[in-house]
A and B are shown apart, each in its own frame.
Chain A
Amino acid sequence: MKQRLSLHRGSLIALLVMANLVVLANLASGDLKTVSELVWLDIAGEGGAALLALLWIGLILNSRPTGRVTRLLVTGLSTLFLAYWQDLMDEFIQLPSAVMWDHWLESGAMPLGMLLLTLGIYHWHREQQAISAQLQKRERVFREHRSLDGLTPLSGPRYLREQLAMELLKQDQPLSLVMLDLHCFDHSRRLLGPHDSDRLLREVAEVLLLNLRQQDLLCRYAGDRFAVVLPRTGRQEAESLTRELEQAVRHFAFKTQRGITHPVAIMAGLAVAHDEDADSLIERANRNLHSPSRVA
């Protein structure tokens, strides 16, 4: 969190300087109001709006890397903040009627800020579309950030069961499930150490993703076991896809931190759904994983 905010230190300092300049300009050209002249409702309303704008800036800066979209969003919100800030200053300081810049700051900055913010949100939307396209094989139909796996950029077993249950409702279409288990991963983990073996899992996940179709879904089941949901896929097609996955992983030359190649192999267990629930389908695929014929 701290690192994220420090990326944007420049923007934050600029905002602080601007807010200070506004206060100084007001004090230089106007006079302070007496307590009896203050309208507390206006102060609360305008001050609250300024504070909220500031909070939004903080949240956005904290959750995003630097870049065009972030710059647009933050500039828009900062302009809005300054407009509200000047509005708030009006409540405390009486400016002579000859001074015009405060009107410009209040009424000009507001629409400009809105415009920039709209532009930012539009690009954010485009950016999200691009990210969703990248995520396609890892999440289908609906998003649930709570079922994401902690180690790999995939969804976990809960999401797998939910998706299988949804697919199983479509009874007119065949559905296949493949379980993939890394061969001798227990041994690899001890040889490679925790960092490399975790990275190995993440990279194998990437290799598998590259070899799947648009409609397929890859989840991490547990440990070194992955699950591939193949919708609208019968046995024959599923077997050939499984073989492709096995070959792809066999040709993957994982590099340790020291740059040494560590060969990887997977075992696969295939189950084609017939009239059953998600748990029994998963169980059958898991059982086939251990059988010597591999793809049963």
Chain B
Amino acid sequence: MVFFLHDQRFIPAHGQAAVLLDLAADQAIDSNVLLRHTGLFREQIVQGEAQLSSHDFLQLIHNSRRSLADPELSFRYGQRLFPGHYGAASTLLANAGNLAQALQVFCDFGVLIQPLAGARLSLSEQHLCLQWLDCAGSGPHWRFIVEAAMTGVASVTRWLSGERLPWQFLFRHDCPDYPEQYQVHLSGPLHFASQIDAMLLPLEYLERPWPNHSATARQAALQQCQQEIASLPGTLSLRHGLYLHLLEHIHQPPSLQESAEWLECSPATLKRRLKGFSSHYQQLLDEARLHQAVHWLAFHGQGPDQVCARLNFTDSTNFRRSFKRWSGQTPAMCHRQLLRFAQR
């Protein structure tokens, strides 16, 4: 498996980053201020040659938030993000024949359409759950990224489907002091201080056909996307790739040593590379376990005891204590809270 590192430059700067630059330019912010410490210049971007690493992109977001300290920024950015002008990936999204095909773009070609936030789609009996995962170790900027991603997906699915989809929104963070931005821009039930950042929708919307798409254009774009992704240094960030690997083997998670062997590098190198994403092995393992536990608890109707057994904990006290450390809640509390959302 080949994953990209935090300082590998391959994200075209005239893609998602340019949306942010244009947005700031509309509010009379100098683009040189925004590009400070990214090593890029406006001229390079206009020529379509400049490339960003995920670290540079985070720096750009940092600069934008400092220059435009407006809580609306992430939502306005999100509204402009999709389908966007990112080549084949945008064509693929714009020609989605239903929600499943649209979400496939985010899940399979995330690096082309939304490089900082990874999407994970899971289906339960009643709901689809689109969870957003931090690919870049974005720390304080994660909230900005997740606000933009959710606004973008809610907006583009509404536009392409021609109807307002009744999304529900779950956020890990507490309600910020600008709830009005969430209310107006997302306009669905909001659940703050949840265990995951995710969007929920009743399952019946997944296959409902959408108007105005071309199946042929979509097929061609799919081919192109596959070629594009093959030419990149990696399809996933190292942080996201290792997270998914841990998730896949959650019953018997590999140790740091085993993970390093799987990645064909030394444990010290793996540690150093994860540090580039402001992450470490144990943090990823905790995240993966929490997220999987939440999925089982909320969407698959399993009780805390079953989840405890599936996560390979020896006894339930131990599981409860760990769960509380990851999430600040007991599994039973989380179970009750999430069941409520899923029943809406």
- Which A residues are within 8 Å of any B CB, using their own CB? 150-151, 157, 181, 186-187, 189-190, 194-195, 198, 221-225, 282, 286
Which of the residues B23, B158, B159, B185 comes within 8 Å of A222, measured between beta carbons? B185
A200 CA to B184 CA, complexed, in Å:
17
Q: Which residues of A contact B75 (CB under 8 A)?
A: 222-223
B184 touches A187 (CB 8 A): no
Q: A150-B72, A186-B159, A223-B75 are in contact. Are A194 and B184 (CB under 8 A)?
A: no
Main secondary structure of the interface of B (DSSP, over half): helix
A224 touches B184 (CB 8 A): yes
- Which B residues are within 8 Å of any A CB, using their own CB? 22-23, 26-27, 68, 70, 72, 75, 79-80, 155, 158-159, 178, 180-181, 183-185
Q: Which residues of B contact A190 (CB under 8 A)?
A: 159
Q: A150-B68, A181-B184, A224-B184 are in contact. List 14 more A-B contacts (CB 8 A).
A: A150-B72, A151-B27, A151-B72, A157-B178, A157-B180, A186-B159, A195-B26, A198-B26, A223-B72, A223-B75, A223-B185, A225-B180, A225-B184, A286-B183
Q: How far is the CB of A257 from chain B (nearest CB, A)?
A: 14
Nearest-CB residue, chain A, relative to B187: A290
B70 touches A150 (CB 8 A): yes
A189 CA to B152 CA, complexed, in Å:
13
Q: How far is the CB of B311 from chain A (nearest CB, A)?
A: 39
Main secondary structure of the interface of A (DSSP, over half): helix
Q: How far is the CB of B64 from chain A (nearest CB, A)?
A: 13
Q: How far is the CB of A266 from chain B (nearest CB, A)?
A: 14
A146 CA to B75 CA, complexed, in Å:
20
Q: How far is the CB of B203 from chain A (nearest CB, A)?
A: 24
B181 touches A222 (CB 8 A): yes
B159 touches A187 (CB 8 A): yes
Q: How far is the CB of A2 from chain B (nearest CB, A)?
A: 10
Q: Which residues of B contact A157 (CB under 8 A)?
A: 178, 180
B181 touches A223 (CB 8 A): yes
Nearest-CB residue, chain A, relative to B19: A194
Query: Across chains A and B, which 5 residue pairs bring their CB atoms closest together, nearest first?
Result: A223-B184, A222-B180, A222-B184, A157-B180, A150-B70
A225 CA to B180 CA, complexed, in Å:
9
